[in-house]
Amino acid sequence: MIDAQDYAEFSRFLSECCGLVLGENRQYLVSSRLSRLLDEFSFEKVEDLLRALRRSPDPLLRSRVIDAMTTNETSWFRDVYPFEILRHDVLPGLSKEKKAVKVWSAACSSGQEPYSIAMVFAEWEATYPPKTVSLNILATDLSEGVLQEARAGIYDELSIARGLSPERRQRYFDAVENGHRIKPEIQRRVRFQRLNLMDSYAALGKFDIVFCRNVLIYFSAETKRRIFDGIARQMDRGAYLFVGASEAVSSYTDAFEMIRTPRGSVLRRR
Ligand SMILES: C[S@@+](CC[C@H](N)C(=O)[O-])C[C@H]1O[C@@H](n2cnc3c(N)ncnc32)[C@H](O)[C@@H]1O
């Protein structure tokens, strides 16, 4: 069993370096999530790994531990309604004002979210006569592991089955030996980059649409406040923010107003 001091230090490490708040008495969770790393780094017990983490600045060990503790759960068109709002309520308006629409998928995991956005844009573009608007998506995540999967754009049967209609699967993927590869016309719209939401975003520039979904759930209120304020600074008035279904952004910042549509709600920068 992890002792109280090791647990407290590990909790502090996680909250400082990636925002994750473990809470009380989650020793079992820590042991079970880290147990897979023991062989890889030749440790006998989880406690040895935690102590090495304290002593060693090894970036590989740190990032593998963070990866093991965070959840990368995602799917295509997750929750459906944000992508419907994007298609019917956001893109038509923005396309009248802009020649280039900039999107940020701020915790993109293995790429399903930004690629779903690119598919929505392709479908909307096909029915929108002027075709003078371009879309650029920056997709970021803390984890190099998921970014590698996202960049490769190859998905196995199980992940392809989660959220994709048979038509989209047919239209946007090519069968390859080890799964289904996203087509280049979707892939080239998305640029992947490593970014920790605990760091500054000032260098990223401004965005018209931001997706920051299902990542801040386990962060402290103070960290959420800082992150939502940081995101708001990268958005001009009128830009749109999509968050996870259970995230109450108004408790942390007043930078956004809630816009209700027949398909659901989205936040807009005041
Ligand atoms: C549950 S997934 C959500 C993926 C996608 N947004 C969705 O809703 O399906 C959460 C992602 O957040 C990433 N993450 C966790 N902490 C982070 C941080 N401090 N900065 C950036 N990304 C982080 C994880 O690596 C993971 O890929």
- For residue range 193-243, what is the model confidence (pLDDT) as tens digits? 999 999 999 999 999 999 999 999 989 999 999 999 999 999 999 999 999
**Per-residue pLDDT tens digits for 31-56:** 999 999 998 999 999 889 988 988 87
Residue 125 domain flag: yes
Q: Which numbered atom of ligand 1 lies nearest the CA of 17?
A: 19
**Number of structural domains in the chain:** 2
Give me the pLDDT at residue 263, please.
97
Mean pLDDT of 154-183: 96
Judgement on whether residues 107 and 53 belong to the same structural domain of the protein: no
Residue 50 is assigned to a structural domain of this protein:
yes
Per-residue pLDDT at 131 exceeds 80 = no
CA–centroid distance, residue 5 to ligand 1 (Å): 28
User: Of 17, 46, 69, which residue is a domain's last?
Assistant: 69
Specify whether 64 is located in the same domain as 89. Answer: no
Q: Please identify, by atom number, the ligand 1 atom nearest to the C-alpha of residue 197.
A: 20
The predicted structure's pLDDT at residue 98: 92
Query: Do both 143 and 251 map to the same domain?
Result: yes
Q: Is any ligand 1 atom within 6 A of the Cβ of residue 213?
A: yes
Determine the distance separating the centroid of ligand 1 and the alpha carbon of 143, expressed in angstroms. 8
52, with CB counted inside 10 A (0-12, 13-18, 19+), is: middle
pLDDT value at residue 246: 87
Mean pLDDT of the chain: 94
100 and 49 together in one domain: no
Q: Are residues 223 and 125 in the same domain?
A: yes
In a domain, residue 167? The reply is yes
**134 lies in the same domain as 244:** yes
Given CA atoms 25, 31, 32, 34 in this order, what sign does their dihedral have?
positive
Residue closest by Cα to atom 10 of ligand 1: 215
The partner residues of 104 in beta bridges, in order of sequence, read: 138, 210
Q: Is 159 found in the same domain as 57? A: no
pLDDT at residue 162, as a whole number: 97
Q: Label residue 67 left, alpha or beta by phi (over 0 means left) and psi (-120 to 50 means alpha).
A: alpha
Shared-domain flag, residues 86 and 108 = yes
Q: Domain for residue 41, yes or no?
A: yes
Residues 96 and 205 in one domain: yes
Residues 141 and 242 in one domain: yes
CATH number assigned to the domain comprising residue 49: 1.10.155
Q: Read off the pLDDT of each residue in 5-12 and give the average, rounded to a whole number.
A: 91
Q: Is the CB of 224 under 6 A from ligand 1?
A: no
Q: What's the mean pLDDT in 70-76?
A: 95
Task: Specify if 11 maps to a domain.
Answer: yes
Domain C-terminal end among 16, 42, 69: 69
**CATH, residue 147:** 3.40.50.150
Q: How far is the CA of 127 from the centre of ligand 1 (A)?
A: 32
Which of 142, 223, 243 has most ligand 1 atoms within 8 Å of its beta carbon, as the pocket-test mutant? 142
Q: Decide: 30 in ligand 1 pocket, CB within 6 A.
A: no
Query: What is the pLDDT at residue 55?
Result: 85
Q: How many CB atoms lie within 10 A of CB 145?
A: 16
Is 75 inside any structural domain?
A: no
Instruction: Check pLDDT > 80 for residue 57.
Output: no
d(CA 26, CA 128): 51
- Residues 136 and 264 placed together within one structural domain of the fold: yes
Which range among 16-20, 122-126, 136-140 has the greatest average pLDDT?
136-140
Residue 90 belongs to a domain = yes
pTM over 0.85: yes
In DSSP terms, 257 is beta-bridged to: 268
In a shared domain, residues 161 and 220: yes
Task: Report whether residue 189 contacts ligand 1, using a CB cutoff of 6 Å.
Answer: no
pLDDT reading at 129 higher than 80? no
Q: What residue numbers bound the domain in which 56 lies?
A: 4-69
Over the chain, what HEC string results?
CCCHHHHHHHHHHHHHHHCECCCCCCHHHHHHHHHHHHHHCCCCCHHHHHHHHHHCCCHHHHHHHHHHHCCCCCCCCCCCHHHHHHHHHHHHHHHHHCCEEEEEECCCCCCHHHHHHHHHHHHHHHHCCCCCCEEEEEEEECCHHHHHHHHHCEECHHHHCCCCCHHHHHHHEEEECCEEEECHHHHCCEEEEECCCCCCCHHHCCEEEEEECCCHHHECHHHHHHHHHHHHHCEEEEEEEEECCCCCHHHCCCCEEEEEECCEEEEEEC
18 CB within 6 A, ligand 1: yes
Task: Judge whether 76 lies within some domain.
Answer: no
Which of 16, 41, 69 terminates a domain? The answer is: 69
pLDDT for 58 equals 85
- Please give the distance, rounded to the nearest whole angstrom, from the Cα atom of residue 73 to the centre of ligand 1: 8
pLDDT value of position 27: 93
